[in-house]
Amino acid sequence: MTSKRKRENTDNSPGSKTTANGDSGGRGSLPRTRPGLEIVATRKDPGKEEDSRPKKKKKDYVPCQPPTITTGQSTMKLSIEWTVEQRTIWEGETRRQIATVRSPFAEQVIGFKPEENPHWSETIPTPPAASILKCSMPITQAPFPDVCFSSVTIFGNVRKEVAEELKAHSESYMALIPFGAGNKIFEQARVLTTATADLVSALANDGTQYSVAAPVQEDAPPHKAWFARPFAMILKDPSPSLRKTLLDTKTVAYRRNGENFAFLSSNIPLSENSWIVCNFKGGPVMNRPEKMTEALTAISRQICQLNGLRSLANRILSKEGVGQSSEERIHVAIAGLSLIYIDRRDEEDREDPVWQLHGKPLTKLDKEHREWLRAVRHVSFFIDSTTELIQERARVGCVWCKSELHTNLNCPLPRVKDWLGPQPPKERLTPEPRDTSSSKEGKRATRKERKGKGKARD
């Protein structure tokens, strides 16, 4: 039993074919029953002379099952193979080059459903039809990028009772995130909420005067911060067609009484479902697809080899009913992993780019999802014996549209043709001072860092 278990943990070579250990009959779906033997077996009890403790019951070992596919008459087994490909994706009208893991093996694993990454689109988007944006105010019509909001963007520093109500009745609300949202713009919340409510009502054109509420904060924002949470205004009871219009349009940029406004629309997310796994910084990071391919190959290989990650993926995915063995599940975990280059500058305007790692969340459960992210973020990946990838702990993203796919300098929104939203002031393009984090997440990290004597940061 022990030797078989060991085998499961260490045998990582691609193409390794499972039950070569004479373990006949157990290939499969039915776990074998082991009556008798393990129940009477005992082990040493600390503080006692005799071996009186019952032996730990071990779980049945399910050998790796390469998925089988049936083509016509013949059934064949797939070998464990994956490759890293270069692909083009679209962030609105901006073309981006990414590296991505393609695994025909994982695609055949029972229970695994590949999905498209919600942070970008595979094809170039088109603007919504002019007819659905008919309105008394001028509105920008453009193929805006999909922006995928994390639940921290919607609920971060929102008063607890309010956040609970929003989550409990998510179908009755929508989040509208003003362009450049943060504590400073909500100092005059009335102007913003009135303008947004008027636009939404004009757009719906169904005789309803909709109301839009400014966010209610839990804690006071940190001193000097400009873009502190909470961010989202709340629209109550939008009609189904209004909800669809807002989601299809993605970003509404408009002019009202000579003033420019813009906001992004989102449903209220129910769980932490971000596809962003982690960010890497440092020397090896560059905007060259072949380097990204090399790095992603190394990252995926290491994820497959690390026992801690293998057993974690095994535990999480078995709960989700995906796959039958740890080998299958770790390949599901790396399937579709993608690496995207993000141009970034530091406070002194020096180049400081990152590679962002994306992957389909293994589970919808918050706790397990966070556990997986934490585990991957603790690994120091290396491309070769001298090139290490440094994990970036700071959040990477844009203060204007809250996307995590680009930084402030490269926000594609104000660059679209006929942009009617506000223009970001130049002095607010550089990163904010570092001590402005107000989220609970940020606070927790700080405490942890103190405990770990600053080990967590470089």
Residues that bind Zn ion (CB under 5 A): 398, 400-401, 403, 411
Considering the complex, state which of residue 376 and residue 396 has its C-beta at the smaller distance from Zn ion: 396
Tell the smallest beta-carbon distance from residue 26 to Zn ion (Å). 53
Rounded distance between C-alpha atoms, residue 91 and residue 308, angstroms = 34
Tell the smallest beta-carbon distance from residue 95 to Zn ion (Å). 16
Tell the smallest beta-carbon distance from residue 401 to Zn ion (Å). 3
Considering the complex, state which of residue 101 and residue 413 has its C-beta at the smaller distance from Zn ion: 413
Tell the smallest beta-carbon distance from residue 188 to Zn ion (Å). 22
Tell the smallest beta-carbon distance from residue 149 to Zn ion (Å). 12
Tell the smallest beta-carbon distance from residue 136 to Zn ion (Å). 28
Tell the smallest beta-carbon distance from residue 263 to Zn ion (Å). 13
Considering the complex, state which of residue 357 and residue 396 has its C-beta at the smaller distance from Zn ion: 396
Considering the complex, state which of residue 284 and residue 397 has its C-beta at the smaller distance from Zn ion: 397
Considering the complex, state which of residue 210 and residue 263 has its C-beta at the smaller distance from Zn ion: 263
Q: Which two tokens stand for residue 280?
A: 């890497």
Rounded distance between C-alpha atoms, residue 375 and residue 128, angstroms = 41
Query: Considering Cα of 435, then 438, then 444, then 447, what sign does the dihedral take?
Result: positive
Considering the complex, state which of residue 84 and residue 147 has its C-beta at the smaller distance from Zn ion: 147
Tell the smallest beta-carbon distance from residue 291 to Zn ion (Å). 25
Considering the complex, state which of residue 113 and residue 426 has its C-beta at the smaller distance from Zn ion: 426
Considering the complex, state which of residue 354 and residue 411 has its C-beta at the smaller distance from Zn ion: 411
